């Protein structure tokens, strides 16, 4: 019988702490499982061992386990076996193949928070080092679908879009969804918020309407207006992914099979039958070469076939931002303006129409080769704009919003070209850094407007960029980051003929 010390901390797991003498007495150690029982309640928890935090005869119990034990004052404990999935993770570490049941057990335990951080990290590290084969990746994807909410549509076809990411300003979803929905296809799009970027589609859409919906609400919205742009993180769709992303981020890894499974699980769970995958390719993106992009395309299409989902992939140019804006408000303003007028930056217009066109063809709305033209017609006719306004209204936003209503940061700074010439280098990552320093994505009004892109001519003293922010000191931070001749820093934009370094060094904008 142990006296309970409640630890008022959400630790993300069923976790308890014993004095090391008591653990020794019970023959158990750090990371072992214990069955903790009280009258009418019990929980299996991960053990931590301490010499100071709890006295002998006491047990520290964190919030999650405490809830299951209904505030018990005393508990019995006994050693319990580790989840079977821990042994399967060991098999992965030994590069052995897992069965479907074993993969499902791992995913189930990830979703149920039954694995410790040490175990979860070992799973990801082994997954990173040893890719799964196609059969195992299929099982992994199915397990990720089955362990979360699913949407089954009565109307068809259901299409979806995914971007591999890695290119700034990629607001194409804001155009693709209304175009294909206006054509009569269903597109229940879940998007992410930015983690390391300047703004995810969910961050953008949130300026226009709420984005947090359950799977059931997404189904209803999609059936009502044809499309939705929701934040995936608010749903319980493929929830294993959210847990994995946390640890992947901490390790800066993106295990390949796990990435394939995570993409396709989210599509499979919402009932998508046809999916287009945008693959920004080029130096500075996630897909440095066309070869890598082709391999990924093949693997995604193979996985789709195994799951009964048609997949087409579009390799797009990722070396330069899409459109001329980076940051939630400036991006949504640009996207809205294009829907209102049918015109705007070519890089945004062409890419959006191409991706929408592929979906129109896959969904049977256009004959092969005619999708792009149809998408253009839907955009220029204003039908896409009308559809987005319907979607905004359905999601609870203002259907009369105009691009001119969108507020951007009141503190602004132009970055002027120090020379006359062509833009000969343009570094995406630096643009994202500058937008983040200005406050994006948390400050939705922060961002970068790009006046000159790769290959364009600029005169000395003309603006290359405009940075905007809601905060004067964040604007200053971001502006400093653009300083020429700042030692060790890569200029975001290089103009031919521009002085790259000068001695002695001094700072000049």
Which residues are catalytic, by number? 254
Does the footprint of a copy of itself cover residue 442 (CB under 8 A)? yes
Give the list of residues 6+ apart from residue 223 with CB closer than 8 angstroms, or none: 153, 154, 155, 186
Nearest distance from residue 144's CB to a copy of itself, in Å? 20
Site for a copy of itself in 59-88 (CB under 8 A): 60, 86
- Share in percent of the chain as helix, strand, coil (round to 5): 40, 20, 40
Rounded to an integer, what distance in angstroms lies between the CA atom of residue 222 and that of residue 181?
9
Nearest distance from residue 476's CB to a copy of itself, in Å? 16
Radius of gyration of the chain (CA): 26
119, 334, 361, 390: residue in contact with a copy of itself (rule CB under 8 A): 119
Omega into 289 within 30° of 0, i.e. cis?
A: no
Does the footprint of a copy of itself cover residue 246 (CB under 8 A)? yes
105, 120, 314, 335: residue in contact with a copy of itself (rule CB under 8 A): 120
Nearest distance from residue 269's CB to a copy of itself, in Å? 23
Nearest distance from residue 233's CB to a copy of itself, in Å? 10
Cα–Cα distances in angstroms (integers) from residue 363 to residues 267, 274, 389, in the given order: 15, 7, 23
Name the residue nearer to a copy of itself (CB basis): 57 or 461.
57
Region of 89-97, 218-226, 296-304, 307-315 interacting with a copy of itself (CB under 8 A)? 89-97
Taking CB atoms within 8 Å and a gap of at least 24, the contacts of 39-46 are: 39/72, 40/70, 41/68, 41/69, 41/70, 41/72, 42/68, 42/69, 43/14, 43/68, 43/69, 44/14, 44/80, 44/114, 45/13, 45/14, 45/15, 45/16, 46/13, 46/14, 46/15, 46/16, 46/116
- Helix 134-146 × helix 240-251 angle, to 10°: 120
Give the list of residues 6+ apart from residue 494 with CB closer than 8 angstroms, or none: 423, 424, 425, 426, 500
41, 93, 419, 425: residue in contact with a copy of itself (rule CB under 8 A): 93
55, 68, 76, 117: residue in contact with a copy of itself (rule CB under 8 A): 117
Region of 113-121, 160-168, 394-402, 411-419 interacting with a copy of itself (CB under 8 A)? 113-121
Residue with tokens 């390790």: 251
Overall size of the chain counted in residues: 509
Rounded to an integer, what distance in angstroms lies between the CA atom of residue 263 and that of residue 195?
16
The terminus-to-terminus CA distance of the chain in angstroms comes to 70
Name the residue nearer to a copy of itself (CB basis): 378 or 437.
437
Nearest distance from residue 191's CB to a copy of itself, in Å? 16
Does the footprint of a copy of itself cover residue 124 (CB under 8 A)? yes
73, 252, 503, 504: residue in contact with a copy of itself (rule CB under 8 A): 252
Phi/psi region, residue 57 (left: phi>0; alpha: psi -120 to 50; beta: rest), is left
Helix (H, G, I), strand (E, B) or coil at 461: coil
Cα–Cα distances in angstroms (integers) from residue 269 to residues 190, 219, 260, in the given order: 11, 11, 14
253, 301, 425, 454: residue in contact with a copy of itself (rule CB under 8 A): 253
CB 263 within 8 A of CB 246: no
Nearest distance from residue 129's CB to a copy of itself, in Å? 5
Omega into 345 within 30° of 0, i.e. cis?
A: no
Does the footprint of a copy of itself cover residue 21 (CB under 8 A)? yes
27, 369, 488, 504: residue in contact with a copy of itself (rule CB under 8 A): 27
Cα–Cα distances in angstroms (integers) from residue 21 to residues 50, 256, 465, in the given order: 9, 43, 64
Nearest distance from residue 454's CB to a copy of itself, in Å? 26
Give the list of residues 6+ apart from residue 67 with CB closer than 8 angstroms, or none: none
Name the residue nearer to a copy of itself (CB basis): 93 or 454.
93
Map residues 462-481 to x or -, x wherever contact with a copy of itself holds by CB under 8 A. Answer: --------------------
Name the residue nearer to a copy of itself (CB basis): 92 or 307.
92
Task: Name the nearest CA neighbour of 240 among 115, 76, 331.
Answer: 115
Which run of H or of E encompasses 170? none
Does the footprint of a copy of itself cover residue 29 (CB under 8 A)? yes
126, 134, 301, 483: residue in contact with a copy of itself (rule CB under 8 A): 126
Does the footprint of a copy of itself cover residue 250 (CB under 8 A)? yes
Site for a copy of itself in 33-62 (CB under 8 A): 50, 52-53, 60
Task: Name the nearest CA neighbour of 196 among 451, 428, 474.
Answer: 428
Name the residue nearer to a copy of itself (CB basis): 251 or 424.
251
Nearest distance from residue 42's CB to a copy of itself, in Å? 21
38, 85, 114, 116: residue in contact with a copy of itself (rule CB under 8 A): 116
Nearest distance from residue 120's CB to a copy of itself, in Å? 7
3, 9, 499, 508: residue in contact with a copy of itself (rule CB under 8 A): 9
Name the residue nearer to a copy of itself (CB basis): 105 or 339.
105
Count of residues of this chain found to bind a copy of itself when the rule CB under 8 A is applied: 45
Does the footprint of a copy of itself cover residue 249 (CB under 8 A)? yes
Q: List interacting residues with a copy of itself (CB under 8 A).
A: 7, 9-10, 21, 24-27, 29-31, 50, 52-53, 60, 86, 89-90, 93, 95, 116-122, 124-126, 128-130, 195, 246-247, 249-253, 436, 441-443
């Amino acid at each position: 019988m142990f006296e309970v010390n409640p630890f008022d901390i959400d630790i993300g797991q069923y976790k308890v702490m014993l004095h090391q003498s008591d653990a020794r007495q019970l023959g158990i150690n750090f990371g072992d499982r214990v069955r903790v029982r009280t009258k009418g309640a019990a929980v299996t928890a991960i053990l931590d061992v301490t010499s100071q935090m709890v006295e002998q005869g006491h047990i520290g119990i964190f919030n999650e386990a405490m809830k299951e034990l209904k505030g018990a004052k005393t508990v019995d404990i006994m050693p319990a076996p580790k989840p079977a999935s821990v042994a399967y993770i060991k098999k992965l570490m030994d590069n052995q193949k897992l069965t479907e049941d074993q993969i499902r057990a791992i995913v189930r335990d990830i979703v149920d928070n039954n694995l410790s951080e040490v175990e979860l990290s070992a799973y990801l590290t082994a997954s990173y080092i040893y890719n799964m084969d196609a059969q195992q990746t299929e099982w992994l994807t199915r397990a990720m679908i089955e362990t979360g909410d699913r949407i089954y549509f009565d109307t068809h076809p259901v299409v979806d879009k995914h971007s591999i990411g890695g290119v700034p300003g990629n607001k194409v979803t804001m155009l693709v969804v209304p175009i294909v929905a206006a054509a009569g296809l269903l597109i229940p799009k879940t998007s992410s918020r930015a983690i390391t970027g300047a703004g995810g589609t969910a961050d953008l859409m949130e300026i226009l309407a709420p984005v947090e919906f359950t799977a059931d609400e997404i189904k209803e919205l999609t059936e009502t207006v044809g499309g939705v742009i929701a934040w995936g993180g608010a749903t319980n769709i493929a929830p294993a992914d959210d847990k994995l992303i946390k640890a992947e981020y901490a390790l800066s890894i993106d295990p390949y099979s796990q990435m394939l499974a995570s993409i396709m699980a989210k599509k499979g769970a919402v009932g998508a039958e046809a999916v287009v995958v945008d693959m920004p390719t080029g130096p500075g993106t996630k897909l440095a070469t066309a070869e890598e992009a082709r391999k990924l395309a093949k693997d995604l299409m193979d996985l789709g076939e195994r799951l009964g989902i048609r997949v087409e992939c579009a390799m797009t140019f990722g070396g330069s931002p899409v459109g001329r804006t980076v940051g939630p408000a400036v991006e949504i303003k640009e996207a809205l303006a294009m829907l209102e007028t049918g015109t705007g930056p070519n890089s945004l217009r062409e890419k959006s129409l191409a991706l929408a066109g592929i979906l129109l063809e896959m969904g049977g709305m256009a004959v092969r080769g005619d999708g792009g033209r149809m998408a253009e017609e839907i955009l220029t006719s204003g039908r896409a704009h009308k559809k987005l306004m319907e979607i905004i209204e359905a999601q609870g936003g203002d259907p009369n919003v105009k691009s001119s209503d969108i507020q951007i940061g009141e503190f602004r700074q132009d970055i002027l070209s120090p020379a006359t010439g062509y833009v000969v280098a343009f570094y995406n990552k630096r643009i994202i850094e500058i937008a983040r320093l200005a406050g994006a994505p948390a400050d939705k009004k922060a961002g970068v407007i790009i006046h000159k892109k790769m290959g364009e001519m600029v005169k000395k003293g003309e603006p290359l960029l405009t940075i905007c922010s809601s905060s004067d000191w964040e604007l200053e931070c971001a502006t400093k980051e653009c300083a020429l001749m700042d030692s060790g820093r890569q200029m975001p934009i290089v103009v031919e003929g521009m002085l790259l370094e000068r001695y002695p060094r001094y700072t000049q904008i």
